[in-house]
Amino acid sequence: MQFAFVKRLFLLALLLTIPARADHLIPLNDLGNRDYHWGYIGGLWDNGGNEMDADHRANGLRRASLIQPLDANGKPSPNGKIVFLSAGFGETATIFDSLMPMAANDARVNHESLVFVNAAHENFDFASWGWPFLQNYNRIKTSVLLPAGVTEKQVQVAWVQMVTNSPLDPPLPIQYADAYRLKQGIAMALRSMKERYPNLQVAYLSSRVYGGYSTSNWNPEPYAYENGLTVRWMVVGQQIMMRQGGEYWDTRIGDLNYEKGVAPWIAWGPYLWANGTTPRSDGLTWERDDFLSNGESLSEQGAQKAAMLLFDFLLHEPTATNWFLNPSMPAKGRVAKH
């Protein structure tokens, strides 16, 4: 207790020495190869870009091609199911809850074999997902998957958001910054999910929405913003690791080798961060009434906004085509119009 109190005092003192940056933070997808701070550049992928490299895309398409209807024992079956599972905290759960009715009422979506399972849970940060034997996974098995009529062996795709609840660690650039520590937490979660869900092939990662309205003393910006850097380090880290023959180079991330069944293939899901009411290049903003009174939890309006981003992503993502889209609909009618 005394150590934690001292650490909080240290963090407060450190934060007071760092100028507030939330007013001029630029979304990673708009920042490009310009400098955020301390040598950290923008871009969702490497070298300031927002497009996935061709080799990682090809590998993702190959993993996605393995997704097919499975029976309860994980064997291919024409009457089987494809489970699309959410993993994360309260924001993740709220967004996924809004996504499901959108998908249920859209003819472009696969209603034959696809099952949406919302396993995310309020206050379940990365620590609740880091080991396969944790009670959280037993909760999902008995209280989430079983009532949906599916099993762990039918889980094949995941949408993942991981955060730290009330982080004690400071923001960047210090070497034990929360953004760095979270890399290890997400990597552990991905390995644990692969162990619990052996047929998990693909996981899409998203960072948090805007945190600038937060009334909390311990989770303000730039934590939400830097969560985006963590996700980029994760997806680029796996990409580089596989280019090097599966040998990991980032010791905080460790082994994420999908060829050996250690983890799923990972990529960006929708990037959800925008700087409050300042429009992103695609027009995305976060208004105060997109959040509840605490400034962190999404309101129904905010959840709908984020869910629309996730839904649009899934409609257009090449690695989602063979499992998310309605196989009975002609290809021309399966693409969303803009």
Please write the tens of the pLDDT for every residue from 149-197.
999 999 999 999 999 988 878 899 998 899 999 999 999 999 999 999 9
Mean pLDDT along residues 295-321? 97
Share of the chain above pLDDT 90, in %: 81
pLDDT digit string (tens) for 311-322?
999 999 999 999
**Class in CATH terms, 2-326:** alpha beta
298/275 Cα distance (integer angstroms): 15
Task: Place 281 in a pLDDT band, splitting at 50, 70 and 90.
Answer: very high
Placement of tokens 């390995």 in the chain = 191
Question: Could you read off the pLDDT of 220-229 as tens digits, one per residue?
Answer: 899 999 999 9
Q: What is the pLDDT of residue 257?
A: 97
To which residue do tokens 């991330």 refer?
A: 253
Q: Which spans in 197-263 are helix H?
A: 223-243
Residue 82 near residue 156 (C-beta atoms within 8 A): yes
CB contact set of 3 (below 8 Å; sequence gap of 6+): none
Question: Would the pLDDT of 330 be above 70?
Answer: no
Query: Does position 251 have pLDDT exceeding 80, yes or no?
Result: yes
Averaged pLDDT, 267-276: 98
CA distance 230 to 158: 18
Rounded to an integer, what distance in angstroms lies between the CA atom of residue 32 and that of residue 46?
Answer: 10
Question: Alpha helix locations (H) across 71-200?
Answer: 90-104, 135-139, 178-196
* Residue 100, both tokens: 């499901």
* SS3 call for 160: strand
User: Is residue 102 a contact partner of residue 307, using CB atoms and an 8 Å limit?
Assistant: yes
Q: Where are the domains of the chain?
A: 2-326
pLDDT greater than 70 at residue 135: yes
Over 70: is that where the pLDDT of 43 sits? yes
Using 50, 70 and 90 to split pLDDT, how confident is the model at 217? low
Long-range pairs, 241-246, Cβ under 8 A, ≥24: 242/56, 242/59, 243/55
CB 101 within 8 A of CB 322: no
Q: Output the pTM of the full model.
A: 0.92
pLDDT band at 15 (very low <50, low <70, confident <90, very high): very low
Give first-to-last CA distance, the chain, whole Å. 54
Find all residues with CB under 8 Å of 174, minimum gap 6, and list them.
14
DSSP 3-state of 222: coil
The contacts of residue 137 (CB under 8 Å, 6+ apart) are: 192, 196
Say if residue 18's pLDDT is above 90: no
Mean of the pLDDT values across residues 73-91?
A: 98
**Residue 117 burial (C-beta neighbours within 10 Å; 0-12, 13-18, 19+):** buried
Phi, psi of 182, rounded to the nearest 5 degrees: -70, -25
For residues 192 and 187, what is the distance between their CA atoms, to the nearest angstrom? 9
Neighbours of 260 (CB within 10 A): 9
Q: Token pair for residue 182?
A: 């979270």
Question: How far, in Å, CA of 252 to CA of 104, rounded?
Answer: 39
- Is the pLDDT assigned to residue 302 strictly greater than 70? yes
